[in-house]
Structure 1
């Protein structure tokens, strides 16, 4: 744990180093909330369409980073992690000219009593 998901707009495909961003997020997570290196798992998912507002304007893009972590981290540590992730996204992701980049981070505590994890080795 933590499980980290990065959802990004299709308009950003091929424009940033996903592996580089993932490694940077994992390192930040280790430092900020004292996560073990091997427990940080970041997955990237491309979303096909982003609709903002009601004007019908297209071309906007989004990066949404979500963390699922075990409880026990302070609000200050979570806030520092959120701020750090916003800085990393700003460094790694550049929208194409004329588009707006919306970035958001959410950190949620998971229920330790219900969470299960299996690692299968092939």
Structure 2
């Protein structure tokens, strides 16, 4: 915990300032500071998405980034909203598009289901 997933348009593979580790490091630091998570508990996976559609326009004109953060229950709505805003700002600082694409960025913080379990070996 937290479980973090960054879905992004495949054409942005090199758009994260060519430095995925720096983005993950800043993201983890932000989650720890705002949501009182532990740094060793932060786990992030990046998933490129080839098929992106925005309205009726061609995907070449748009790029998407969506950050999902799943936390154990107990954070206030204000904390979750603050974290969401901070994540949007991180993406703004780290992601660059090329070719005049419109960048669509969103983020969501939710609570893990009570059935969530994990183990580490």
Give your verdict on TM over 0.5: yes
Whether the aligned pair in 2 keeps the contact of 1:32 and 1:81 (CA below 8 Å) is yes
- Residue 50 of structure 1 corresponds to which residue in structure 2? 52
Give the number of aligned pairs: 119
SS at match of 1:58: helix
- Where structure 1 has 5 or more consecutive residues not aligned to the other structure, the ranges are none
- Residue 85 of structure 1 corresponds to which residue in structure 2? 87
Looking at structure 2, the residues matched to 92 and 26 of structure 1 have their Cα atoms a distance apart, in angstroms, of 14
Matched, 1:4 2:35: no
Whether the aligned pair in 1 keeps the contact of 2:9 and 2:64 (CA below 8 Å) is yes
Looking at structure 2, the residues matched to 72 and 95 of structure 1 have their Cα atoms a distance apart, in angstroms, of 36
- Where structure 2 has 5 or more consecutive residues not aligned to the other structure, the ranges are none
* TM-score of the aligned structures, taking structure 2 as reference length: 0.92
- Residue 100 of structure 1 corresponds to which residue in structure 2? 102
Which contiguous aligned blocks of 4+ residues in structure 1 show a shift greater than 2 angstroms?
Answer: 55-59
* TM-score of the aligned structures, taking structure 1 as reference length: 0.92
Looking at structure 2, the residues matched to 59 and 49 of structure 1 have their Cα atoms a distance apart, in angstroms, of 13
Looking at structure 2, the residues matched to 71 and 110 of structure 1 have their Cα atoms a distance apart, in angstroms, of 7
